[in-house]
Amino acid sequence: MSGDYETIRIDDRGGGLTLVTLDRPAVANAMNTQMGRDLLAFFDAVNADPLAHRAIVLTGAGDKAFCAGGDLKERLGMSDETWQAQHLLFERAIRAFIGCPVPVVGAINGAAYAGGCELALCCDFLYAAENARFALTEVTLGIMPGAGGTQNLPRAVGERRAKEIILTGRPFTAREAHEWGMVNRLCAPERLLDETLETARRIADNAPISVRQAKHSIHYGLQMDLASGMMLEIEAYNRMVPTEDRREGIASFNEKRKPVFKGR
């Protein structure tokens, strides 16, 4: 995959593991129009060729912020039409992100506010530095979350907690996010990236078709009734039966060796 992006860095860690870094540290990695374009291009490329990736880690440059949300300096004085055109770009990027078949693990290294918090919520799960902070501050600015926040946050912390967070716009700590189920693990800041990459590497070492199908089954099954979700699960399961990786997994177990999965 090309690394020709202006606002994000792509680091191939080998074995299908990719590190993506939001790279505007001078402005707390705030999302401008170009970052919207870059994120859309990246996730569109992954979605078009998921076999090229097995796991993705998303983090922010520097040690102060994951992402401060939309770049409000760029937005100052925008016409309604320009604002809506920019937001449509962000919407497309978020849909491509949420639709990504490859697992995305967030390494939240600092403040994740507004759109930055929404980006974090698009990840499959999150590790966070102990000093990270979160907020959905949109209602304090005359807008509301519009990049999945009103949908992803309730699914992470429950409806009543999500209403409190969104309607007050009040920041909360990484420890609170962990207690509420939004963050999976708290890490010392200096250990955050290593621990996140370690978990992502474990995912990348597993059978990639199995991982993608399991993610698909969880994500879409939760949007169905139980019976429909069970049917979706079996359809996803049956995709594994004729694969080389299924045969390799069983053979390696019996031969007491590490499996070599090829994604086919």
pTM for the whole structure = 0.92
| In the chain, where the domains are located | 8-204, 206-254
60: tokens are 């922010």
Q: Which residues contact 123 (CB under 8 A, 6 or more apart)?
A: 58, 104, 105, 106
CATH assignment of 8-204, given 3.40.250.10, 3.30.420.60, 1.20.1630.10, 3.90.226.10? 3.90.226.10
Asked whether 103 and 124 are in contact (CB, 8 A), the reply is yes
Tell me the pLDDT band of 161, cut-offs 50, 70 and 90.
Answer: very high
The pLDDT of residue 3 is 58
Residue with more model confidence, 218 or 263:
218
Give the pLDDT confidence of 71-117 residue by residue, as tens digits.
888 888 889 899 899 999 999 999 999 999 999 999 999 999 999 99
User: Is pLDDT of 1 > 60?
Assistant: no
- Dihedral sign from CA coordinates of 64, 46, 184, 32: positive
Asked whether the domain spanning 206-254 has the same topology as the one spanning 8-204, the reply is no
* Amino acid residing at 133: R
Pick the CATH number of 206-254 from 1.10.12.10, 3.20.20.140, 3.50.30.10, 2.60.34.30: 1.10.12.10
**In 3D, which of 48, 53, 103 has the Cα closest to residue 216?**
103
